[in-house]
């Protein structure tokens, strides 16, 4: 396997995949029957999930604009998902056309679609990599081609850390990535939570998928920002992070926290 390739047998269509469930919920076409069934079960269990994923995408766009406005010219997006327009590089380029973006995901199907759609210039690249192996992600040749770790980086961990169990040490993973970033870098993170409703049924949908859903409370999500300084308004439900329009109806129910933080030292 190379960073741009995979074996056809690596695409598992026997189980729902987080990337394809999410694509279905966003109204995308890159999903299979099992993913759509899981998506429908999620909506039954957590009716606000469709507005929640849209709000998460809108948070992503606002946060990317914020970090690029703050001077970031290179972005490492881990858990990038199936291409969804506007993608991170399109959003970043609206602010500054010279931003480089390295996309990383551990799902071979994401890698394939992303390679086809996102590697449109030397400034954007895609790597197959697993967040649970942060050192390998940092050493990936495509990541290294695009990201100079001596210059500030925008690290995106958007709606991905909740696929790591506590045993997989998500805090340790974030710390390894943080320690590779110079001062002036940013962490943009969003994470699913059960703080606003009992979401155990939604969680159960993922027990049949290729990754489990690990909902975490505010205090635990906030700890992922150790070593960074959260910018205003801190860690909040995604629709309330620097909204640029009236938050959608039902925003108080949305089970995604989002925050942006700066590494000052
Ligand atoms: C819910 S999607 C989020 C996509 C995008 N970041 C967004 O917020 O719109 C989660 C993505 O994380 C990926 N993912 C899950 N576990 C991962 C891991 N251990 N390493 C890398 N990617 C992972 C999935 O394949 C999926 O594409």
Q: Give the pLDDT confidence of 30-69 residue by residue, as tens digits.
A: 899 999 999 999 999 988 899 999 999 999 999 999 999 9
- Ligand 1 pocket, 79 CB below 6 A? yes
Q: What is the pTM of this model?
A: 0.94
Is residue 20 included in any domain, yes or no? yes
What domain count does the chain have?
Answer: 1
Write the CA distances from 28 to 20, 82, 84, 157, 255, integer angstroms: 9, 9, 8, 21, 21
Is residue 133 included in any domain, yes or no? yes
Which of 49, 14, 16 has the alpha carbon at shortest distance from 215? 49
What's the domain range around 96? Answer: 11-262
Measured between alpha carbons, how far is 195 from 197 in angstroms, rounded to an integer? 6
Q: How far is the CA of 79 from the centre of ligand 1 (A)?
A: 3
Is residue 141 included in any domain, yes or no? yes
Residue nearest atom 12 of ligand 1, based on CA coordinates: 79
Report the pLDDT value the prediction gives residue 147, as an integer from 0 to 100.
98
Is residue 6 included in any domain, yes or no? no
Residue nearest atom 9 of ligand 1, based on CA coordinates: 57
Place of tokens 């970043």: 92
CB 127 within 8 A of CB 142: yes
Q: For residue 28, give the CATH number of its domain.
A: 3.40.50.150
Is residue 3 included in any domain, yes or no? no
CB 88 within 8 A of CB 61: no
DSSP structural state of residue 81: -
- CA dihedral 81→212→155→24, nearest 10 degrees, is 20
Model confidence over 221-261: pLDDT tens digits?
999 999 999 999 999 999 999 999 999 889 999 999 999 99
- Ligand 1 pocket, 132 CB below 6 A? yes
Residue 27 has which token pair? 């109204």
């Amino acid at each position: 396997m190379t960073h741009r390739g995979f074996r056809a047998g690596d695409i598992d269509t026997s189980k729902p995949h987080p990337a394809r469930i999410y694509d279905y919920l966003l109204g995308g076409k890159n999903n299979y029957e099992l993913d759509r069934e899981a998506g429908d079960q999620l909506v039954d269990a957590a009716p606000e999930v469709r507005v929640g994923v849209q709000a998460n995408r809108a948070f992503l766009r606002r946060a990317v604009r914020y970090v690029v406005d703050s001077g970031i010219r290179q972005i490492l997006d881990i858990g990038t998902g199936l291409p969804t327009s506007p993608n991170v590089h399109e959003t970043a380029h609206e602010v500054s056309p010279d931003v480089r973006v390295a996309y990383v995901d551990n799902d071979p199907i994401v890698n394939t679609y992303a390679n086809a759609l996102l590697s449109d210039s030397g400034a954007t690249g895609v790597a197959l990599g697993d967040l649970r192996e942060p050192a390998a992600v940092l050493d990936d040749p495509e990541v290294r081609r695009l990201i100079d770790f001596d210059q500030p980086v925008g690290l995106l961990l958007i709606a991905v850390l909740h696929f790591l169990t506590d045993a997989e040490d998500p805090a340790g993973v974030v710390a390894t990535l943080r320690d590779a970033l110079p001062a002036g870098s940013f962490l943009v993170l969003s994470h699913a939570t059960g703080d606003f409703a009992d979401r155990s049924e939604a969680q159960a949908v993922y027990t049949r998928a290729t990754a489990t859903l690990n909902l975490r409370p505010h205090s635990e999500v906030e700890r992922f920002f150790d070593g960074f300084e959260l910018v205003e308004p801190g860690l909040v439900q995604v629709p309330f992070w620097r909204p640029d329009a009236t938050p959608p109806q039902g925003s108080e129910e949305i089970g995604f926290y989002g925050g942006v933080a700066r590494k000052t030292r």
